[in-house]
Amino acid sequence: MIQLTAQMRILVALEPVDFRRGIDGLCRLCRHELSTDPLSGTVFVFRSRTGTALRILAYDGQGFWLCTKRLSEGRFRHWPRGAVLEDRARELLAHELQVLLAAGNPEATQAAPLWRPIMPAAADVAAWSAAAE
């Protein structure tokens, strides 16, 4: 079972992908198109070309999770957009992904603003070691 937490980095691919891709194909897409290491612990979200399904790819330290949600009716109408046309991915917060998974509009969520973003453990260690030098 995957639990979405505030500490997780969540990247949503803005362009639809071919759902014939499996774990290896989506990992290649993460590396080459999204410029992010799929082994980093980042949660990746992809949409099908028809907009009726999405996939989540995540690495948990032991292996990959590949989860699929296909809507019985309708489409994922509200898909995040990039700030500029060249953007290939966009970060979401955990509560925004929950709304997206329910076929809602993640941009319309109204949560309290982040006061201080939580850094992933690797970045935290690097920041501490850089400060110590």
The full DSSP string for 28-74 is: HHHHHTS---GGGS-EEEEEBTTSSEEEEEEE-SS-EEEEEEE-SSS
| Residue 46 resides in a domain | yes
Give 59 or 114, the one with higher predicted confidence. Answer: 59
Which residue is it, tokens 């979405």? Answer: 4
Q: What is the CA radius of gyration of the chain?
A: 16
* Inter-residue contact 29 to 22 (CB < 8 Å): no
| Residue 4 resides in a domain | no
| Residue 1 resides in a domain | no
Mean pLDDT of 17-32: 96
Is pLDDT at 1 greater than 70 in this prediction?
no
Q: What is the pLDDT of residues 103-130, one digit of tens each?
A: 888 888 777 777 776 665 555 555 555 6
Give the number of domains in the chain: 1
User: What is the structure's pLDDT at 49?
Assistant: 94
Q: What is the pLDDT of residues 63-110, one digit of tens each?
A: 999 999 999 999 999 888 887 777 899 999 998 999 999 888 888 877
User: What is the structure's pLDDT at 3?
Assistant: 83
Mean pLDDT of 11-20: 95
Please give the residue range of the domain that contains residue 111. 10-132
| Residue 3 resides in a domain | no
| Residue 71 resides in a domain | yes
| Residue 2 resides in a domain | no
User: What is the structure's pLDDT at 125?
Assistant: 54
User: What is the structure's pLDDT at 81?
Assistant: 84
